Amino acid sequence: MLIFNTQNELVSHLTSISNEATSIGFVPTMGALHEGHLSLLKEALLHNPVVVISIFVNPTQFNNADDLAKYPRTLEADVAKIKTVSDTIVVYAPSVDDIYEGKTVSEHFDFDGLEHQMEGQFRPGHFDGVGTIVKRLFEIVKPTNAYFGEKDFQQLQIVKKMVAKLKLPVKVIGCPIFREPNGLAMSSRNERLTTEERAEAAIIFKTLSEAKIRFHVQSAEEVTEFVTEIFQKTTPFELEYFTIADEETLLPCTTKNNTKKYRAFIAVFVNNVRLIDTISLN
């Protein structure tokens, strides 16, 4: 399997094996790979003769230095997992310098307000960091199709918005959330939970599923009260936010409109580990 640490090596390899007509599928990740990431790779392999995965813990999207320092970095194990999917996948695992060339700062983006909701409120600067790295990686890899998980639904909408606004020549494809058997959304951060916390974290998806049922007959406000009460009773889980929002605009739902699609979004701390999840409500 080919692993490149510099953009120059990656680009010259891609140029040697593809031409303008070759479809390149791309899966950007921060590593510590799990079945969720692998499901994106499998989807990419179905539709593209060339598939590239990037593994890069992007410093500019972390607003919390401790979270960045503790983010798991497991390149060797990641490569072994990628091989189980296919050894034709091209890995790009750059250094911070290879990407940022000495200037580790974000560009500023206007995502028409999508960036101010939910994760944007609680993680200042996060989406400027996401926009910066995704744009940079798109410039390097020049993918035809790029695959993102619906687990980070706000990020998916923001990347779609960036591609539309900057007219980037790439199709952004959203893929379903891969879950552990108890319903917990797979996440690299799950590795930082104890065995008990990981089992108890099933409460997150269980509550989202209950919220979905209630939303058929209750208002967004009533459902939000129900979820807030659940987490008040459930230590060590601490609710950061629960929001029911319009899938397109990500604006909070005040009164239900039958023509709109809604989604519930949640962020929860388990001790110091921050977990997010989302569910479609229609």
Neighbours of 240 (CB within 10 A): 17
Choice among 34, 37, 116, 216 that is catalytic? 37
Give the separation between CA 176 and CA 84, rounded to whole angstroms.
21
Q: How far is the CB of 44 from ligand AMP (least distance, A)?
A: 11
Q: Rounded to the nearest whole angstrom, what is the least distance from the CB of residue 15 to ligand AMP in the complex?
A: 25
Dig out the tokens for 231 from the structure.
Answer: 């987490």
Torsion angle, alpha carbons of 36, 42, 46, 48, to 10: 90
State the nearest-atom distance from the C-beta of 75 to ligand AMP, in Å: 13
We find the least distance from the C-beta atom of residue 21 to ligand AMP, in angstroms, to be 26
Question: Which residues of the shown chain bind ligand AMP in the complex (CB under 6 A)?
Answer: 29-30, 36-37, 39-40, 148-149, 151-152, 175, 177-178, 185-188
**Which residue's CB is nearer to ligand AMP, number 25 or number 224?**
25
The enclosing H or E element of 40 equals helix 35-47
Cβ closest to ligand AMP, residue 133 vs residue 253: 133
Which tokens sit at 277?
């999840």
- Beta carbon of residue 271, minimum distance to ligand AMP (angstroms, whole number): 19
C-alpha distances out from residue 63 to 134, 178, 190, 272, Å: 17, 26, 19, 14
Would you state the structure tokens that stand for residue 259, as one six-digit string?
A: 């023509």
Q: Closest distance between ligand AMP and the C-beta of residue 246, in Å?
A: 20
Instruction: CB nearer to ligand AMP: give 39 or 132.
Output: 39
Q: Please tell me the distance from the alpha carbon of residue 270 to that of residue 280, in angstroms, as a whole number.
A: 23
- Report the residue number, 174 or 252, with the smaller CB distance to ligand AMP: 174
Q: Which is nearer to ligand AMP, 45 or 256 (CB)?
A: 45
In Å, the largest CA–CA distance within the chain is 58
Category of 33 on φ-ψ map: left (φ > 0), alpha (ψ -120 to 50) or beta: beta
Instruction: Give strand ranges (E) for the chain.
Output: 3-4, 24-29, 50-55, 90-92, 145-149, 171-175, 237-246, 262-270, 273-280
Annotation marks residue 37 as catalytic: yes
Nearer to ligand AMP, 148 or 262 (CB): 148
Q: Which residues are paired to 245 by β-bridges?
A: 252, 263
Which residues are part of the catalytic machinery?
37
